[in-house]
Every structure is written in structure tokens, then in C-alpha cells.
Amino acid sequence: MNRIRGLLRFLWDFVVGDDWRIAVAVTSALLVTLVLSNNGVTSWWLLPVAVAATLTASVCGAARNRRQSA
């Protein structure tokens, strides 16, 4: 049981990493892009916008946490 838990933990750390919100944002943005594309809407811009917003939010969050813990 501990080994399975360890493996799952490793896979989580490997794929998702320090900030799970990045994985959620990427998945959500891909799904919305898929829906827009399938309905004939030009959607190539959506993923870059989502990535820029997510990266900024994640870095700002890390900076805020560091300041609060200092």
C-alpha cells in the first residue's frame, strides 16, 4: 500500500509539480479551445493568454507566500 502511495506521489510530483493550479489551468484552457474550435471560432490565441495569466498568477503567488513567511 505504501509503495502504491509512493508511486502515486511520485507521478503527481512528476507531472503536476509544485503548483497544481498550472495543470488545472492548462487542461481547462485546452478544453475551452477544443469547444471553440469545434464551433468554428478562431481560438489559437486562447492557450497563450491562459498560459501568460497562469504563469503570472503562479509566480505572484509564490512571491506573496515568501513575503508572508519572511
Partner 1 sequence: MTGTQIGLVASVFIACTVEAVEALTIVLAVGATRSWRSAMIGLGVALAALAAVTAALGPALTELPINVLRAVVGGLLLTFGLQWLRKAILRAGGLKALHDEEATFTEQAELALAAGTVENGLDSYAFFVSFKGSFLEGLEVVFIALTFGSNQKDVPLAAAAATAAVLVVACAGFALKAPLARVPENTLKFVVGVMLTSFGLFWGSEGVHARWPGGETALLVVIPAVALFAIATIASLRRTLSAAAAVET
CB atoms within 10 A of CB 5: 9
Residue 3 lies near partner 1 (rule: CB under 8 A): no
Cβ contact 18:51 at 8 Å: no
Residue 43, helix vs strand vs coil: coil
String marking each residue 14-43 x if it binds partner 1 according to CB under 8 A = xxxxxx--xx--xx--xx-xx-xxx---xx
CA distance 67 to 29: 30
Q: Which amino acid, residue 39?
A: N
Least separation in angstroms between CB 1 and partner 1: 21
Least separation in angstroms between CB 68 and partner 1: 11
Q: Which residues bind partner 1 (CB under 8 A)?
A: 14-19, 22-23, 26-27, 30-31, 33-34, 36-38, 42-44, 46-48, 51-52, 54-56, 58-59, 62-63, 66-67
